[in-house]
Structure 1
Amino acid sequence: MTVHDGREVFGRYLEGFRVGDVYKHWPGKTITEMDDHLFCLLTMNHNPIHFDEEYARTIGHGKVLVVGTYVFSLAVGMAVKDTSGKGIAALDYEKITHDGPVFIGDTVYAESEVLDVRPSRTKSDRGVVYLEVRAHNQRGERVLTFRRHVLVPRRPAAVPAV
C-alpha cells in the first residue's frame, strides 16, 4: 500500500519542469465587491475608480474597475500549487502588463508557461524556473501577463520521481 500525503503534488522540483509546459491553474476566482474594497483598504489605494461607480462612468469605464494589483496577486496565488509550492524564493516579477479591464463579478483564471529551466550556478541543490503567467476572464479575454523567476529545490536523491 502507498500512502500519499499530498506534498508531492504541491509544487514541483526543478526536474519536474520542462520548457514549453503549460499549467492551467484551477480553480478560478469570481471577484466580489468586498474583495475589491478590502484590497483597496489593505493597500491604501483610494483611487475612486475602484469604488465609485459614478466616477468610473465619467472616465469611460462604465463601472468600477478592480484594482490591477489585486488581479496580479490572484494570478501569483493561483500559480503556487503548480509552480512555486516547493519554492525557496520568488526572485523577481517582470514585464507586468494589464492587458484588459477586470470588473466586479468577473471570474479570473490563470496559467503558467515554462520559458526556461536551469540549475543554480552556485548551489547544486536548487535551480531557477522562468515562467510567463497569463490571466484571463470568463470570456477568455487576456487581462494580465507577467514573467517571474522562481528558485526551486532539485529533487533529493531519496525522493522518488512521481
Structure 2
Amino acid sequence: MSTTHGVETDQAAREATGAHSYGRYLEEFEVGATYKHWPAKTVTESDDHLFCLITMNHHPLHLNDVYASRSQQGRNVVVGPLVYSLALGMSVSDISGKAIANLATEELSHPNPVFHGDTLFCETEVLEVKPSKSKLDRGVVKVHTRVLNQDGVLVAEFKRLVLVPRKTPGMPSD
C-alpha cells in the first residue's frame, strides 16, 4: 500500500514555513543596495569543456592545451558565455528568483580572463527601481553585476533589467 502526501508548490507558502526567501519583490529592492551572492563557484576544466561542446564553440583556446599554451595567456581560457551564465545563475536567488522576465542585458564585458581552477565571486548593485505605470502588479529593476576571481580581479560585469512582481500592487506612478 503506497502513501501519498500533499506537496505545497506555492513559493510564498513554502517561504512562510521558514524556507529561505527566493528572489525579491519590487518593494524589497533599494537603490544602492549591493548583494554579495553565495555560494561562489570554482570553474573546472570539465565545466568549460562541456559548456563549449554543448554550445558548439570549438575554439582551441578553450579546448586544446597545446594551442592555448602558445597563446598570449599561455593556457586555456574559460569561454566568456560560461562566465556570464554562472554569474547570472549565482544572482538568481537574490535578484530574479521572483522575476516575471529578464528583459535585457547591457554592457557585458570581460576585462580579464578566467582560467580553469579560478573561483568566481559575484556581487550585484541595485541601480534603479521603477514601478510600472501601466501594470500595477510589477516593475523593472536595473542592476549591475560584477564577477571577481579569488584574487579580487574583475573578470566580468554586466547590467540587466529584470521585470519583477510587486508584493502589493500599487497606484500608477507619476
Does TM, scored on the shorter chain, surpass 0.5?
A: yes
Which of 16, 19, 23 pairs up with 1:6?
A: 19
- Measured after TM superposition, the shift of residue 76 of structure 1 is 0.2
135-144 or 55-64, which deviates more:
55-64
Q: 1:160 corresponds to which residue?
A: none
Q: Which amino acid aligns with 2:152?
A: G
CA RMSD of aligned residues (A): 1.4
Q: 1:21 corresponds to which residue?
A: 33
- Measured after TM superposition, the shift of residue 94 of structure 1 is 0.7
CA distance in 1, matches of 2:68, 2:88: 27
Specify the structure having the higher radius of gyration (Cα): 2
CA distance in 2, matches of 1:54, 1:14: 49
Alignment of 1:4-153 (within 5 A): 4-6=17-19, 9-153=21-165
- Measured after TM superposition, the shift of residue 93 of structure 1 is 0.2
Q: Which amino acid aligns with 1:155?
A: K
- Measured after TM superposition, the shift of residue 102 of structure 1 is 0.2
**CA-to-aligned-CA distance 1:23-75 (integer Å, 9 cap, x gap):** 00001110111100100111000000001112112221111000100000000
The structure with the largest strand share of the pair is: 1
Moved over 2 A (4+): 3-7
Scaled by the length of structure 1, what TM-score is found? 0.92
- Measured after TM superposition, the shift of residue 150 of structure 1 is 0.1
Question: Could you list the runs of 5+ residues in structure 2 that have no partner in the other structure?
Answer: 1-15, 170-174
Question: Quick one: percent identity of the two aligned structures?
Answer: 54
CA distance in 1, matches of 2:116, 2:140: 36
CA distance in 1, matches of 2:53, 2:18: 38
Aligned length: 155
Scaled by the length of structure 2, what TM-score is found? 0.86
CA distance in 2, matches of 1:69, 1:6: 32
**CA-to-aligned-CA distance 1:82-131 (integer Å, 9 cap, x gap):** 01000000000010000110000000111100000010121000000000
CA distance in 2, matches of 1:125, 1:42: 38
